Structure 1
Amino acid sequence: MTNALEHTELNAALENVHRAGIPGLFAEVCEGDKVWRGAAGVADLATGRPMTPDLRHRVGSVTKTFTAAAVLRQAEAGRIDLDAPVGRYLPALVPGERGDAITVRMLINHTSGLAEYLPYAYPSLRAFPDLARTGPESLEDHRFTRFERDELIGMGVTAPPAGPPGGTPGLYSNTNYLVLGALLEKVTGTTAERCVTRDVIRRTGLHDTGFPAGPEIREPHARLYESWFGMIDPPRDHSVQDMSWVGPAASLISTVSDLNRFFAALLAGDVVGPASLEEMRRTVPVVSQEGKVIDYGLGLHPVGGPGEDTFWGHGGTVWGGGTLVMIREDGKRRMAVAVNLQRWNRLDASGVPRPHPIDAALEEFHRVAMYG
């Protein structure tokens, strides 16, 4: 149970992340019906506006858990077969032998072999920073660019495969979740964003969660500062950004309280049924965007050291912002944290991010938040 001592520890651990170099961050930790909320640092470097724990935030790939849940709800309704080839539903988007071999399940757990489209968006559209060919100026150039989902999917589908369909370890790829968005649109007759809103967000009673209507976050929020490995110095505010480049893969806006509420409902069986929840927790090895092999389920992945409780959840990054949500397997302990700086690590001569005090401070906060 959360107690006064733990409140002190949580506040201190959060403050240490700010002192390590994050402009501002905020979090919520729940133990049963006991709740701690905290914030440290500033939401706006220019004005000194303090960070508060009730702000909206771009949650990045935490969106994937919502999208996966929406797909599973359609599977429960009989409109999607998880083990059917995606080419049955979307023959034009994933054509030929790959469309016949890649199943819906492989898209959700990143074992489809479809490549990440982001590296291919630079040569085609000069849209995103590429360490080998450009600097971070393309982020600014494309702040308001509206991307077409099917064009991005095409980049991932026509790129050299990351592996054979169903092969492990899989490769974490946003292409998979853009295809899932197209699948939801195909079987429901509405956009993926509207489907997720109707079947997941509203079903869970989340009032502060939704997809952006434009490049701005309309509700009170923190500025999001992108460093791009020290190449943007000082870090630049990218809280205003067209998010069509990730859509149902990573564009959701939420609060730490709503995220904790959603993951609690999910693990309680109130979003998808027990059988679907069990499917979500069946994991396979997947190579993350950081190059690490993790266990990944259907929009969820576990964390926890040997002999420790298992937590389920998801992390996410956008330009300037990061989010992590974790919930203990019994559903009683929950943690959501949001930061307003990204890619703070500078690179060594070989292009590998160097350790930074922020990394250790965040890891310690996660430990205190999850284990007390």
Structure 2
Amino acid sequence: MPTRPKKLRLALCAGAALLTTATAAPAVAAPAPHGTTPAELRAAMDAVHRAGVPGVYGEVRADGRTWRGASGVADVTTGRPVSPDLRHRVGSITKTFTAAAVMQQVERGRIRLDAPIGDHLPDLVPGERGRKITVRMLLNHTSGLPDYVSYAFPSIRTGSAASLDDNRYRRFSPAELIRLGLDAPPAGEPGGPTGVYSNTNYLLLGELLERVTGTPAQEYITRDVIRRAGLRHTSFPSGPEIEGPHSRMYEAAFGLLDPPRDYSAYDMSWAGTGAALVSTMADVNRFYALLLDGRIVSRASLDEMRRTVPVRHLDGKTIQYGLGLHKVTIPGCGTFWGHDGSAWGAGTMSMTRADGRRQMSVAVNLQRWTAPDPAGGRPPHPIDTALNELYDEAMCDGRDTGGHGTS
């Protein structure tokens, strides 16, 4: 068997706060895809749970076969086990849906990628900024607009999680959040060589969709992307509660919440067209399979979506980012496209290999588990190691050796 590639570095937005109250539940699984075994995938999920995540669940597809598995608990109080089909807040995976919706309007001639956003939204992005920032810059995070989240949740910047509770049932408007981003110090110059990841960009894209279609963006995305893809368990939430079977979602806020707090009921207006979607791992895999096969947008649009630039993520790492798509190339394994996502208490990672023959979507119900060390850094945690082992098993089982170089 070929040598396994170096361990993947795809950890979900991380942190650490070990949940000792979680009761172990055995992983459940269907037959594994070619090149790995149910036992290996099951053991990898169990290791994530043992490392401190209450519950982990996901779906792996390869060469026409599908494995679904879960390990741990959906509720640390009752011990209710997780299952692979639970609905989940998938966070910034929403951005790929929004980008696809924008590209559909590009195909219809209603939006030009390199048109100034001020042509469409002069009231929201006025003056010189509106003239310099293009639609493409919003899609690939090279607009220079800063992220609004730390301003919507200001206590986080002062070492307190109080604003997470203060805003649990608050209804934000997109314009209010966009204004927070525009009023903050710029993250860079529009069109700079390295972008800065910002949720402000994708709220503006939601407003752009509404202006050009005459339909609220979430309704348009639901009709022309979610339903077009045949997704039966994917939706924007209509209120703070998730409809259908789901896990509780535990937020540690980098050690500010100990024990981690359940934020599964939350008004997601703070995330909107950037990060509010609820889905299942099967639906997410289906969406990326169809998108990357040219069945949601045209091949020409897909080519545009896969033109990447370096973008500095909110965790400080630089990633290769296209138009709503993140590129990861792993020597000896292949090039993958997808996105990660994080909401309060909920994390997701979804990756699809460029040839469409390998997919992985994984969800966890704990976020930001790493407390800072005395120097202010965030040391590695066993959860990070265990998640990377799971991704390695799911994406690169030692038999997928058609590497495409590094990104």
* TM-score class, shorter: over 0.9
| Equivalent position of 1:80 in the other structure | 111
> What TM-score results when the alignment is normalised by the length of structure 2?
0.88
Kindly state the Cα deviation for residue 130 of structure 1 after the two structures are TM-superposed. 1.8
Q: How far apart, CA to CA, are the structure 2 residues paired with 1:281 and 1:218?
A: 33
- The SS at the match of 2:69 is strand
State the match for 1:124 in structure 2.
none
Cα separation, 2, equivalents of 1:346 and 1:294? 23
Asked if the contact 1:61/1:250 (under 8 Å) is kept, the reply is: yes
**Residue correspondences, number:** 366
Q: For residue 336 of structure 1, give the secondary structure of its aligned residue in structure 2.
A: strand
Give percent identity, aligned residues only: 60
Which of 37, 49, 61 is the aligned partner of 2:80? 49
Paired position in structure 2 for 1:287: 312
Q: Could you tell me which amino acid in structure 2 is paired with residue 327 of structure 1?
A: T
For 2:61, the equivalent position in structure 1 comes to 30
Which amino acid in 2 is paired with 1:79? R
Matched, 1:95 2:121: no
Contact 1:60 1:250 in 2 (8 A): yes
**3-state SS, counterpart of residue 322 of structure 1:** strand
Q: Deviations over 1:249-281 (max 9, x none)?
A: 000000000000000000110010000000010
SS in 2 for 1:304: strand
Task: Determine whether 1:302 maps to 2:333.
Answer: no
**Which runs of structure 2 are paired with 1:1-372 in the superposition (5 Å)?**
2-3=33-34, 6-121=37-152, 127-131=153-157, 133-372=158-397
Provide Cα deviations, 1:306-326, integer angstroms capped at 9, x if missing partner.
343001000000000100000
Question: What is the Cα deviation at residue 161 of structure 1?
Answer: 1.3
Summarize the Cα distance change of 1:172–1:216 in structure 2 as closer, same or farther, 3 Å threshold: same
Compute the displacement of 1:304 (Å): 2.8
Q: TM-score, normalised by structure 1?
A: 0.96
Q: Distance in 1 between matches of 2:375 and 2:173?
A: 34
Specify the code of the residue in structure 2 equivalent to 1:314.
H
Q: CA deviation at 1:214?
A: 0.2
Identify the residue that residue 5 of structure 2 maps to in structure 1: none
State the Cα distance separating 1:333 from its structure 2 match. 0.4
Quick check: 2:34–2:63 contact (8 Å CA) kept in 1?
no
Q: Deviations over 1:5-58 (max 9, x none)?
A: 522111110110001100001010001320000000000111100000000000
Residue aligned with 2:268, SS: coil
Q: How many angstroms apart in 2 are the aligned matches of 1:340 and 1:267?
A: 27
Change in Cα spacing, 1:282 to 1:3, as seen in structure 2 (3 Å) is closer
What stretches of structure 1 of length at least 5 have no aligned partner?
122-126
Shift in Å at residue 302 of structure 1? 1.0
Q: Is the 8 A contact 1:128 1:139 kept in 2?
A: no
Kept in 1: contact 2:34–2:62 (CA 8 A): no
CA pair 128-319 structure 1, distance change in 2 beyond 3 A: farther
Unaligned 5+ residue runs, structure 2? 1-31, 398-407
Letter of the aligned partner of 1:40 in structure 2? S
* Letter in structure 2 aligned against 1:196: I
1:128 is displaced (CA, Å) by: 4.5
C-alpha separation in 1, matches of 2:43 and 2:255:
27
Residues in 2 aligned to 1:173 and 1:304: alpha-carbon distance in whole angstroms: 23
Letter matched to residue 235 of structure 2: G
CA 1:65/1:5 → structure 2, altered by over 3 Å: closer, same or farther?
A: closer
Could you report, residue by residue, the CA deviation over 1:331-355 in whole angstroms, capped at 9, with x for unpaired residues? 1100000000001111012322221
Distance of 1:134 and 1:343 partners within structure 2: 14
Q: What code does the residue aligned with 1:280 have?
A: M
How far off is 1:371 after superposition? 1.2
The alpha-carbon deviation at position 159 of structure 1 amounts to 1.8
Mapped to 2, the partners of 1:4 and 1:61 lie a distance apart of 30
Question: What CA deviation, in whole Å up to 9, does each residue of 1:41-82 have, x standing for no partner?
Answer: 000111100000000000000000000000000100111011
TM-superposed CA distance for 1:3, in Å, is 4.3
